């Protein structure tokens, strides 16, 4: 009978990183992801800019790409985007500059592949729900839609799936809004019908 290894955050520090790879652990399970393509990064960058502009205007918090969330010795992840209020940031920061408690908002942009989808839609959803994240956006650039999960009755629950001409808004960030159409990578003029997410 084989026993799978239970990884810790300390173990990650011993891994010799390979270029283009990202290492996360959730409940002791190691997840290795590869450098995303530009279509993944396009909505991530657009959302980061929109959130950053809102933060500059309101002075209520800050937006981070690639920030480390280290919730325990066996759970450390690196979401695509984090928004956190200044009040929560000072309370959540650990001695290494990571966030030890859930920020208000986490955004993950889906990468292709069933393992990636399962990680973001199931495993990370459960983690963020357990660790006090108030809102979780799952961005699917291939389908051109966003699932919005919000904390209800102590857990993250799906409250909306935004598509087409919808506008992304949230009571978490009063006055923040961005039309979904601004987020999606342009389709190739050479072969529009062959691209994922094209209609």
User: What's the rounded Cα separation, in Å, for the pair 118 and 34?
Assistant: 16
pLDDT of residue 197 exceeding 50, the answer is no
Mean pLDDT of 188-194: 62
pLDDT, one tens digit per residue, over 9-61 is 898 888 887 887 889 999 999 999 888 889 999 999 999 999 999 999 999 99
Is 181 inside a domain boundary? Answer: yes
> What confidence score (pLDDT) does residue 3 get?
54
Mean pLDDT lowest among 4-13, 26-35, 66-75, 101-110? 4-13
- Residue 41 to residues 35, 77, 179, 199, Cα–Cα distance (Å): 10, 18, 17, 21
DSSP strand E in the chain: where? 21-26, 29-34, 61-65, 69-72, 75-77, 81-85, 105-109, 135-140, 145-152, 155-163, 167-169, 177-179
Residue 70 and residue 76 in contact, taking contact as beta carbons nearer than 8 Å = yes
Is 179 inside a domain boundary? Answer: yes
DSSP H helical ranges for 21-80: 38-58
Is 2 inside a domain boundary? Answer: no
Is 5 inside a domain boundary? Answer: no
Mean pLDDT of 91-95: 88
> What confidence score (pLDDT) does residue 7 get?
92
Is 24 inside a domain boundary? Answer: no
Average pLDDT, the chain: 91
Residues forming beta bridges with residue 91, ordered by sequence position = none
Is 150 inside a domain boundary? Answer: yes
Domain CATH number, residue 75: 3.90.1570.10
Is 29 inside a domain boundary? Answer: no
% of the chain beyond a pLDDT of 90:
72
Is 27 inside a domain boundary? Answer: no
Mean pLDDT of 195-199: 45
> What confidence score (pLDDT) does residue 5 get?
84
Number of domains in the chain: 1
User: What's the rounded Cα separation, in Å, for the pair 165 and 182?
Assistant: 10
> What confidence score (pLDDT) does residue 199 get?
37
The DSSP letter of residue 66 is S
Between 64 and 18, whose confidence is greater?
64
User: Domain limits at 44?
Assistant: 38-185
Mean pLDDT lowest among 30-44, 135-149, 178-192? 178-192
């Amino acid at each position: 009978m084989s026993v799978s290894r239970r990884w810790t955050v300390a173990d990650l520090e011993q891994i010799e990183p390979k270029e283009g790879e990202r290492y996360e652990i959730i409940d002791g399970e190691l997840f290795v992801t590869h450098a995303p393509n530009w279509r993944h990064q396009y909505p991530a960058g657009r959302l980061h800019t929109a959130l950053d502009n809102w933060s500059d205007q309101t002075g209520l918090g800050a937006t981070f790409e690639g920030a480390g969330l280290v919730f325990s010795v066996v759970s450390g992840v690196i979401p695509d985007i984090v928004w956190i209020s200044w009040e929560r940031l000072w309370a959540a920061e650990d001695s290494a500059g990571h966030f030890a408690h859930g920020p208000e908002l986490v955004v993950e942009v889906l990468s292709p592949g069933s393992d990636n989808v399962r990680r973001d839609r199931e495993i990370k959803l459960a983690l963020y729900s357990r660790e006090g994240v108030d809102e979780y956006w799952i961005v699917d650039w291939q389908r051109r839609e966003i699932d919005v999960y919000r904390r209800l009755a102590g857990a993250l629950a799906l409250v909306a799936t935004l598509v087409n001409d919808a506008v992304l808004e949230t009571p978490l960030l009063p006055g923040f809004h961005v039309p979904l159409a601004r987020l999606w990578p342009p389709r190739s003029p050479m072969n529009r019908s062959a691209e994922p997410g094209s209609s």
